[in-house]
Amino acid sequence: MRYPFPVGRSDFIQGDEAIARAAILAGCRFYAGYPITPASEIFEAMALYMPLVDGVSIQMEDEIASIAAIIGASWAGAKAMTATSGPGFSLMMENLGYAIMTETPLVLVDVQRGGPSTGQPTLAAQGDIMQAIWGTHGDHSLIVLSPATVQEAFDFTIRAFNLAEKYRTPVVLLTDAEIAHMRERVYIPNPEEVEIVNRKLPQNEEEARLPFGDPHGDGVPPMPIFGKGYRTYVTGLTHDERGRPKTVDAEVHERLIRRIIEKLERNKENIISYETYALDDAEIAIVSTGIVSRSAVRAVKILREKGVKAGLLKLNTLWPFDFNMIEELAEQVKKIYVPEMNLGQLYHLVKEGANGKAEVELMPKIGGEVHTPMEIVERVVG
Amino acid sequence: MRKEILFSGFGGQGVILASVILGRAAAVYENLYAVQTQTYGPESRGGASKAEVVISDEPIDYPKALKPDCAVFFSQEAYNKYLRTVREGAKVIVESDLVPHRDEEFEKKLKVYALPLTGIAEETTGLSLTMNILTLGVLTAWTEVVSREAIEKAVLDAVPKGTEEINLRALHKGFELGEKARTEGL
Amino acid sequence: MAKEIYSTYPMVKYLRKEALPTALCPGCGGGTVLNAFANAVDQLKIDPKDLVVVSGIGCSAWIASPYFLADTLHTTHGRAIAFATGVKAGLPDKKVVVISGDGDLASIGGNHLLHAARRNIDITVILVNNFIYGMTGGQVAPTTPFGAKTTTSPYRNIEHPLNISETIAAAGASYVARWTTAHVYQLIESIKKALQVKGFSLVEVVSQCPIQFGRRNQMKNPAEMLRWFLKNSVPVSKAKNMSPEELEGKFVIGEFVSRQRPEFTEEINKLIDEVQENFGLKGE
Amino acid sequence: MYLKSAYEIRDKYLRKDMLPTIFCPGCGIGSALQYTLRAIDDLGLNQDEIVWVSGIGCSSRVPGFVNFDGLHTTHGRALAFATGIKLANPDLKIIAFMGDGDAAAIGGNHFIHAIRRNLDVTVILINNFTYGMTGGQVAPTALKGLRGTTAPYGQFENPFDIADLAVSAGANYVARWSVFNYLQGINSIKKALSKEGFTLVEFLSPCPISFGRRNRMKTSPELLRWYQKITVPLAKAKNMPPEELEGKIVIGEFADRDRPGLVREYEAYKKRAKKMMGWEE
């Protein structure tokens, strides 16, 4: 297999470009998109690479059609991705729900910019956290990843595909305008170094007959993709294990929705990822995600120099969310600070997790600039 | 080792490209960590333009410049806006023809190398556009933030096919000027 | 220099001076469209207070907004016509004009364009077709000519462009015309007609984007693009006798339809009257 | 033409465990479905290589009843999903079964853009002038004066002519019949399924419950008689002035052409990309 970019060495590229290359290495062979700042560079890279690796890159008439097309492609057997920013992300909510309901593996990249509405197209924000987790209607669960560096944008994209395939679920990669356009050293691995997970396919007729069942007891049914003679019927209506619509049966609805939520919930430990810095003996904790974490690390270093026992918890996944871990942290420290580029979203999750065991304080910042380390430091030392 | 380099000027001078080449030299050819970020003015052409490169031998946390160790000013507007953000003792390169009004008081705290870079580029290659590459040469030889081999390779990666020779000429002229500054202890 | 131009340009009275200069790139066709629109308004002696200008997202959405000194509603991507429908229904006496681009009105907003034409609601749409997404950096549009290069069709476009004027004429509009920025006088006349016609009117303006489109398609300067328009323009009357192959890559210019059809706001008000009459609510 | 018995078609192609269908007595969807299945049967197409796609509405429930791969999607979006399936696996044949509200109102944009791209798909469009499933609201196809729950005093908007729109947007094959024209219907579907690119067969289809009842046509036969009254064959319509055609619906074959389909264009595109990058001669 020939790749349209150098592999097995480091490169100096933008976050958007890193996501495109990672997708190709993860096995993505279908991309549908619509132009939007600051996510267009992902699409442009895909447009350049896809035909060369015998994949498809197509520009749809809007974001609604883009996510629809990748769901179709996923059922036709392809690993598929789309990327957008706030306004397009809002348009995708309808079919994101469809992908959750039909348990369709796909990767959706949302490069966050200032909102609501058209807002600040070129500037970074973290205002889509709640939408990524709760944006589509109805009870549901999905996976949300949040990188802080270009290398993480690359690594998490590969992980996003693997998690999508493993758990038959849409995965949202929540990045932002800052990471999108920042150039950074990234190691692009050789294809053989990349761990690839492929979706479970039915092993026999019985499994194929139950595309929404739980034959392996792990909550994740094998996926009988189209064209293999399984004659699978897929619907966004509430459906039984065979996929037959059962729209007024409370028991079927509850069984289906609970399984979709629980297949992620019970695999939480394998999905949730975080990093800590100087947290072991910390009395002050900072909890952050994405680009802000980089300011937070620096702030912790400065605080430690000043004799303040500060530590950082950097969340790489935003959903599923480990509320227990936050509670344990709250028992250890006196106070938790949550710096984020919005007026309080992650803060609410952290506060719920802390469960009153420690004070939780929001450090909001909006307008497009990342918090500087000193802004965080000054807030902590007063 | 954390080094912060600021490039600034107006759109069309190749400010961003220069910063990308420097970052690339560090990240790809020196195996260092490097981050490049940029901000544009509101207009896509001719507006103010600023780029930052952070280079380090360990993973880089905060990706923006806190107090630049080195700065390049290609316009009066950029000079006025960003000069006072650099740290004391910073090495500063100024395009002297484009920055006629200087803050002599503040410059006393810095090491300033002011040159008519555009004119020198024009003289060297016949193309004033090569000014950004020439400046990279000055910067590399003066500060030794990356090696000359690394910056040379990164320049060759970045410039359009067919312009390699002319750009290398600009770069080498820059090395010469930077070398002079270094040996003179500027 | 800009100040001098403002002081001598007669149409400046229709512009928000504090917002100038416009954010459009040098050589953009958007200025021509703004100028044509201002001239049409001027010649018809329309009081700008009687105008509401609505736009979506993209470079062309910035042609009138915020520069044109009337009520201006700058909306979400693709939805300008849906917003305009509400404005017109609420203010049937005002002239409601949508000025936006091809990607905005015919790609993401294609459905609203179709349905407004079907309803034949009395709004005027000036659709600036530059074959490209200019603002986001030159991606392929549903209007991009077959074979043209863009950032998302780097190996040349394989899709066929949507003939917007022809499609909207079929959908039921009262007035449809297409010109290029090289046909300024005809363009002004068509905008005037469109503003006067009762019902949905569309004026499609083929316009140059030298930066995002021209540069990638061997036409770096705006004049080259205007020459390309002139060389390939074919009047509607002549195009009728040409085969699809002969029309490949041509710009058919002129009026496609100009007709009287029942108009939405009139029909809805008629219906309201009838219903009130029926229920004995009239005059209460 | 010899017609197989309806039972034979039913047993071969329908999912028995899903029957009976949800369709009301007198609904025309069953007829259009039968014509489609007969066309598939006549052409001898492989049941395992066809995917049925649909959106939301009565007609969109069809993929649930037929024993094929099927994707029942969101309202209006079926053709966007179909784009992904077809391009990701070009060996699959796609049939999109859609209603008028689904295809022409909320999905109108996907519809014209799929046509413009010449996506390889056959659309069977059930036009019953109404939203049957949600209780009889007016659709953008409703002729002036027709009633619906959201136009209790009669539709005041102008209607869409879907077939006409598809022709101007560039479809390879476009035909319209009423479900009463069964032979023409089957033949048109066969033609549509045999061509590359975008093909459309529109059926005027009775909805006595949600539509007929509100328009003084309580039964299906009444609706069929009305269709006969308002439909005009294309050959005849050509010589009629617009005034006479007011309130009429033209039936027949409106387009039959052979522009290359999206799949073929994309295959050529991939080759060109590799050539431009020097990967292939």
Residue D281 domain flag:
no
**Residues in C 198-217 with any Cβ partner in B closer than 8 A:** 211
Q: Which among A85, A35, D268 is positioned nearest to C140, based on CA atoms? A: A35
Q: Looking at residues B9-23, what average pLDDT do you find? A: 94
Q: Looking at residues D107-132, what average pLDDT do you find? A: 96
Domains of chain C: 2-278 (3.40.50.970)
Beta strands (DSSP E) in chain A are: 9-14, 28-33, 56-59, 79-84, 106-114, 120-124, 143-145, 170-176, 183-188, 233-235, 274-277, 284-289, 310-315, 317-319, 335-340, 359-364
Closest-approach residue (CA) in chain C for D145: C271
- C151 contacts A47? CB cut-off 8 A: yes
Q: Which residues of B touch A182 (CB under 8 A)?
A: 35-37, 63
At C2, the pLDDT band (50, 70, 90 cuts) reads low
pLDDT in tens, B21-66: 999 999 999 999 999 999 865 544 456 789 999 999 999 999 999 9
Cα-to-chain-centroid distance, residue B153: 16
- A231 contacts D47? CB cut-off 8 A: yes
pLDDT above 90 covers a percentage of chain A that reads: 99
DSSP C4: H
- A294 contacts B62? CB cut-off 8 A: yes
Q: Let me know: does A336 contact A361? Beta carbons within 8 Å.
A: yes
Dihedral angle sign, alpha carbons of residues C204, C210, C214, C220? positive
- Taking the Cβ of residue C25 and every Cβ of chain B, the question of whether any pair is shorter than 8 Å is answered with yes
Least confident of A331-340, A373-382, B87-96, C240-249: C240-249
Distances (CA, A) of A88 to A84, B57, D117: 6, 39, 22
**CATH number, position B36:** 3.40.920.10
Residue D144 domain flag:
yes
Distances (CA, A) of B104 to B84, B100, B108: 12, 11, 6
pLDDT in tens, D245-274: 988 999 999 999 999 999 999 999 999 999
Residue D183 domain flag:
yes
Residue-wise burial string across A19-58, b where 16 or more C-beta atoms lie within 10 A, e elsewhere: bbbbbbbbbbbbbbbbbbbbbbbbbbbbbbbbbbbebbbb
Rounded to a whole number of angstroms, the CA Rg of chain A reads 21
Instruction: Quote the pLDDT of residue C244.
Output: 86
Long-range Cβ contact pairs of C227-234 (< 8 A, separation 24 or more): C229/C180, C229/C181, C229/C182, C230/C180, C230/C182, C233/C180, C233/C182, C233/C183
Q: Which among A130, A195, A204 is positioned nearest to A162, based on CA atoms? A: A195
Q: Let me know: does B30 contact A267? Beta carbons within 8 Å.
A: no
- C23 contacts B45? CB cut-off 8 A: no
* Minimal C-alpha gap between C7 and chain B (Å): 23
Q: Which of A11, A182, A295 sits opposite B36 (nearest CB)?
A: A182
- Taking the Cβ of residue A382 and every Cβ of chain D, the question of whether any pair is shorter than 8 Å is answered with no
Instruction: Quote the pLDDT of residue B11.
Output: 83
pLDDT at residue C1 above 70? no
At C284, the pLDDT band (50, 70, 90 cuts) reads low
Instruction: Quote the pLDDT of residue B41.
Output: 55
- A231 contacts D69? CB cut-off 8 A: yes
pLDDT in tens, B76-102: 999 999 999 999 999 999 999 999 999
pLDDT at residue C44 above 90? yes
pLDDT in tens, C19-38: 888 889 999 999 999 999 99
Instruction: Quote the pLDDT of residue D37.
Output: 97
pLDDT in tens, A190-247: 999 999 999 999 999 999 999 999 999 999 999 999 999 999 999 999 999 999 999 9
**Cβ partners under 8 Å of residue D26, min gap 6:** D206, D208, D209, D219, D220
Closest-approach residue (CA) in chain A for D275: A52
Q: Let me know: does A327 contact A357? Beta carbons within 8 Å.
A: yes
pLDDT at residue A304 above 80? yes
Q: Would you put residue A312 in left (φ > 0), alpha (ψ -120 to 50) or beta?
A: beta
For chain D, what is the domain count? 1
At A25, the pLDDT band (50, 70, 90 cuts) reads very high
Dihedral angle sign, alpha carbons of residues C202, C206, C209, C213? positive
Instruction: Quote the pLDDT of residue D1.
Output: 56
Q: Let me know: does B64 contact B37? Beta carbons within 8 Å.
A: yes
Instruction: Quote the pLDDT of residue B44.
Output: 46
Task: Give the ipTM.
Answer: 0.90
Please state, in angstroms and rounded to a whole number, the distance separating the CA atoms of residues C52 and C73: 8
pLDDT in tens, C196-218: 999 999 999 999 999 999 999 99
Torsion angle of alpha carbons D182, D186, D187, D190, nearest 10°? 170
Q: Which of A54, A80, A230 sits opposite D84 (nearest CB)?
A: A80
Helices within chain C (DSSP H only)? 2-8, 30-43, 80-90, 102, 110-119, 164-171, 184-196, 222-232, 236-239, 244-247, 264-278
**Residues in D 97-116 with any Cβ partner in C closer than 8 A:** 105-109, 112-113, 116
Tokens 């560039």: give the residue. Answer: D170
Instruction: Quote the pLDDT of residue B43.
Output: 44
Domain ranges across chain A:
9-193, 205-269, 274-381
pLDDT in tens, D169-183: 999 999 999 999 999
Q: Let me know: does D116 contact D172? Beta carbons within 8 Å.
A: no
Q: Which of D165, D266, D273 sits opposite C170 (nearest CB)?
A: D165
**CATH number, position D155:** 3.40.50.970
| CATH class of the domain defined by A9-193 | alpha beta
Instruction: Quote the pLDDT of residue B40.
Output: 67
Domain that holds residue B139: 2-183
Strands C123-129 and C201-206, sheet pairing:
parallel
Least confident of A59-68, A88-97, B36-45, D190-199: B36-45
Instruction: Quote the pLDDT of residue D6.
Output: 87
Which of A66, A231, A248 has the highest number of chain D CBs within 10 A, making it the mutation to test binding with D?
Answer: A231
Mean of pLDDT over chain D? 95
At C111, the pLDDT band (50, 70, 90 cuts) reads very high
Domain that holds residue D89: 6-276
As a 3-state breakdown, chain B gives helix, strand, coil percent values, each rounded to 5, of 45, 20, 35
Across-strand partners of B13? Answer: none
D touches A, CB cut-off 8 Å, minimum 3 pairs: yes
Dihedral angle sign, alpha carbons of residues D178, D182, D186, D187? negative
Distances (CA, A) of A129 to A317, A340, B162, C94: 11, 10, 47, 42
Q: Let me know: does C29 contact C181? Beta carbons within 8 Å.
A: yes
Please state, in angstroms and rounded to a whole number, the distance separating the CA atoms of residues A323 and A330: 11
Please state, in angstroms and rounded to a whole number, the distance separating the CA atoms of residues C52 and C95: 6
pLDDT at residue D224 above 60? yes
Q: Which of D64, D91, D109 sits opposite A227 (nearest CB)?
A: D91
pLDDT in tens, C75-104: 999 999 999 999 999 999 999 999 999 999
HSE-up of B181 (CA within 13 Å, CB side)? Answer: 24
Q: Which amino acid is at B3?
A: K
Closest-approach residue (CA) in chain C for D166: C167
pLDDT at residue D105 above 50? yes
For chain B, what is the domain count? 1
Instruction: Quote the pLDDT of residue B86.
Output: 97
Fold of the CATH domain A274-381 = Rossmann fold (3.40.50)
pLDDT at residue A324 above 90? yes
Residue D216 domain flag:
yes
Helix (H, G, I), strand (E, B) or coil at B110: coil
